[in-house]
Each structure stands twice: as C-alpha cells, then as structure tokens.
Amino acid sequence: MQPLSFIKPLKSTLEVERKFLPTALLQQYISSSSSSPKSKSNSPAQAITLPRTTLTRQPRKLITDKYFDRASQLQRRGIWVRWRKTEPADDNSSASQSQGVWEAKIKQSGDYVASQSVEVQGREAVESVLSEAGVGESVFDLKFQMGFVAERASWGVEREEGGEMTLVLDTITTALEGRDGERPVYFFHRVGELELEAVVTTELGAEGGAIDSAGLIAKHRVDREVAGAKMSEELSAFMADRPEIFASEGSPVGKLSAYLQYHKENDARKWKANEGGRVANMSEERWEREYNGK
C-alpha cells in the first residue's frame, strides 16, 4: 500500500452539456452580435441582454477536429479521442493560433443530447487514458475516423453560482474524409450547446477518515457523479426557466448523428446511381457498424 502522505489529491475537469435548438429570439441576438464590424471584434467583450440572462460575447474561433479510434474500441467504452486545432475566425484578430492539441472525452453519464464527460488535454494525458482503457499505448496506435471544421460563436453566461457556463453555437461547413482527413467535403450543420464546466477535487481524508489510493479513486468517482448530477440539474433548470431562448419543440442533432444521416442519404443516392454497386469510401453499413447511429 502506498504511504498515505504520498497520495496526492485527485482532480478531474467535468463538463456537462445540453444540446439545443435556438429560438427566433436567440438567433436574433446572435445575428446582431455576430454582425458587428470586424474592426470591433477585438474590442472589450460586448454584452448582450436576454430575458433573465446576460451573455458576454467571446472571440469567434475556427475549430478543426479530427477523431481517432481503433476498431471502435474507444467508442464502445464511451471514450472519444480527438486532435483539435483552434484558430481565430476574424482576419484581424491578434489571438494566437493553436498548433493542435490531443484531447479525450470520457463519458460519465447521459446521451448525445444531454451528456456528462470527464475531459483531459495533452498527448501524455490522452495516452494514459488509452493505456487504462487497454486500447494501445500511443495516439499513433489509433486511426483517423472522421473530422469537421466548424466556426464557433460563444458567449459566457453571467451567473452567481460557481463553475463556468458557456453558450456555444457551432456551424459546421466542412467534413474531413480520406485516410488521414486530408480530403475536405462540403457538409453543413448547426447545433447549439449550453455547457457547464467545473474542476472536481477529492482530497485524502477530506471527511476526516484516512483512505488508501484505491479508496481515494473510488471516492473521486462518487464525487464526480454527485457533481455531475448537480450540474445537470442546474442546466435543466436554467433552460426550463428561459423558454424564450431555448426551443422546447424539436430535437437537436449532434455533429456525429447529423454526419451519419448525411452519409446514409448520400450513399443511397450513389447506390442508386451505380445500380446497387458498392460505395467504396464511406458506406452506410460501415457507419452503422462503427458508430451505431451515435
């Protein structure tokens, strides 16, 4: 057993999100904010006011995501590994350009509309996730699966409670295909997300009793679940209290589900055009097998 004095506190970044369809009112505010002259895009953040809500505009970003897996082993374990590159969306922005970073999202609870995930960043941290999951030791053991290029408009949500809440609108205009995602194809989809992020910390003997490393890990898992449930309730209450902003009718569709549907329809057209011939690159059967409609 490891000496108790050498057991460090455990920390996890927990993200809870809700996908949503924006109402006409929210779209109006978004359009008004996004249409500001580019010369003002780097001025102090502009606040826009909605019923019972204050949003502070953040710099727009151009995000390139490439997702990787190995024979769907990660996806089956609820783990998504991606390489993300972030660039300023405004030509005159002085914001620095990301060189690309490896990220992993580990599903804790929920589904593809309302989810709770533990997030890690950096190649070393991601490879630790791979090792613990028994899916290789290096990111180079994985293969490219799919990718997207999206313009992200985001706003910080002012609130009294702890944790960082963000409203995000992603507009995807390009999908990445090919062996390594080198072939861009046109693909349009838009989805809104309300996100709440917090760091969950579990300390040794925080409740007065000494526990070993295994006990600390178990307690940290419980702490994450408790925090996730509370954050999920906060998001649900926040959205329910603002029907003017978040549409109650219709079902939001995530990027992966929308992309799958796009390929189903596109493959069906190719199948018909080829009189039933196989689609060589991205068949409906492959997507259903690998992503199971998610």
For residue 83, what is the domain's CATH number?
A: 2.40.320.10
Please check whether residues 40 and 151 belong to one and the same domain.
Answer: yes
Helix, strand, or coil here: 250? coil
- The answer to whether residue 281 sits within a structural domain is yes
How many folded domains does the chain comprise? 2
Q: Closest Cα to residue 52, out of 262, 284, 246?
A: 246
- One domain for residues 29 and 53: yes
Cα torsion 221, 225, 227, 231: sign: positive
Statement to judge: residues 135 and 156 lie in one domain? yes
143, 271: one domain = no
CA dist 242 to 26, 52, 165, 184, Å? 11, 8, 15, 38
- Model pTM score: 0.80
Instruction: Report the distance separating Cα 38 and Cα 66, nearest Å.
Output: 29
Residue 58 maps to a domain: yes
Q: What is the span of the domain harbouring residue 17?
A: 7-252
In this structure, are residues 231 and 262 in contact, taking their beta carbons and an 8 Å threshold? no
Separation between Cα atoms, residue 98 and residue 96, nearest integer Å: 7
Give yes or no: residues 80 and 198 share one domain. yes
Per-residue pLDDT of the chain (294 residues; tens, 9 = 90+): 444 545 678 999 999 999 998 888 888 887 776 654 443 444 445 556 688 888 889 999 999 999 999 999 999 999 999 999 999 987 665 555 667 999 999 999 998 889 999 999 999 999 999 999 999 999 999 999 999 999 999 999 988 766 689 999 999 999 998 888 989 999 999 999 999 999 999 987 645 455 677 888 899 999 999 999 999 999 999 999 999 889 877 889 888 788 878 877 776 665 555 544 433 344 444 434 443 333
In a shared domain, residues 200 and 223: yes
Q: Report if residue 16 sits inside a domain.
A: yes
Query: 241 and 182 share a domain?
Result: yes
